Amino acid sequence: MDYLGTIRRGFEHTWNNKFLWVLGFLAALGSGTSFSNSNYSFNSGDTAALGNWLTPERAAALTAGLTAFACIAVIVGIILWLVSLSARGGLIAAVAQLETGSGKPTFGSAFRFGWRRVWRLIGMTILLFIVPVILFAILAAAFLVPVTGMAVAAGNADDPSGLLAGMGGMAVLFCCVLFALGLFTFVLSLIYPFAFRGIILRNLGVTDSIRHGWDVLRNNLGNIILLGLAFLLVGIAILILGAAILVPVGLVVGVPLVMLGQSDATFLQGLLAVLGVITGLLIFAAISAITTSWQSSTFTIAYLQWTGKNIEIEG
């Protein structure tokens, strides 16, 4: 396999077809979100004041508001996941068409194609990962229930050393089984991108796509590992480049943000802070979109080399 040539072709498709960036951005939307926690220390006065303020009526209103927010967040998350799956499927289909010369895709045609197969993608994702989720729930219950009982018994026992030793042994066993489950889930995560492409490019069903993903993984494991190492090296280079761009922006934004905390902050400082934050977010989004597009493009090209270019994409 020509790894450098494959990576170069992925960059060429990504750079020459800017609509792939939009698909990459949408595909990255459903890949996960992170939330930062801020720390705040409460003293007794704060707690008392909070208790006086939090009347039953306000508590009910807060509960209703938080519940509504949670429901909206779940709905938005599902919508973003569907958009992400459709965009990722469209990105794969578009690159396959460009690589095989079987069509001239556009953003609209690619996204519509991904949407037409999104329900199979959902079914494959659920079927592939439902097993480790169930196993983890069973494992957690099998560990927590007896350990809780042993902890209660140890608290009432005159000599709890035996119970504590048993709890330690169960903890070791739990860690071993959890490691095996993590390894199994990791293998499933390697099957997933090939099963995904099986649905998009081979028009396979849910179960057939999973079998197809396992066959591709088993028959091309060495090439997949080497390509993954190449992805890692390029990813490090992109990370360094992104840091070189974002760090100066962060420094420029940081000064106005600090100034906003002072009582004599001006409108200009506030405007600069807002513009700086927006600029940083746009740069981060652009880097994420281009990186996602390139990785998907390169992986799709490699997939076509491993499995053949007889794709089934209509329209």
- The arithmetic mean of pLDDT across residues 112-124, rounded, is 92
Max Cα-Cα span within the chain: 78
Q: With bands split at pLDDT 50, 70 and 90, how would you rate the model's confidence at 283?
A: confident
Sign of the alpha-carbon torsion through 168, 183, 86, 285: positive
pLDDT at 227 over 50: yes
Indicate the residue type of 41: S
List the domain range (segments joined by +) for residue 191.
Answer: 3-29+53-307
Q: Could you give the angle at the alpha carbon of 173 between the alpha carbons of 168 and 175, nearest 5°?
A: 95
Q: Could you give the angle at the alpha carbon of 194 between the alpha carbons of 192 and 195, nearest 5°?
A: 65
Residue 55 has φ and ψ, to the nearest 5°, of -75, 165
- 153 within domain boundaries: yes
- 38 within domain boundaries: no
- 227 within domain boundaries: yes
Mean pLDDT estimate for the chain: 80
Query: Are the beta carbons of 30 and 84 closer than 8 angstroms?
Result: yes
- 229 within domain boundaries: yes
| pLDDT of amino acid 308 | 85
pLDDT single digits (tens) 27-40: 887 664 333 333 33
Distance separating alpha carbons of residues 137 and 270, to the nearest angstrom: 48
- DSSP class per residue in 77-138: HHHHHHHHHHHHHHHHHHHHHHHHTS----HHHHHHHHHHTHHHHHHHHHHHHHHHHHHHHH
Give the chain's domain count.
Answer: 1
- 159 within domain boundaries: yes
Distance separating alpha carbons of residues 212 and 309, to the nearest angstrom: 15
The encoded tokens of residue 91 equal: 């990105």
- 39 within domain boundaries: no
- 118 within domain boundaries: yes
- 264 within domain boundaries: yes
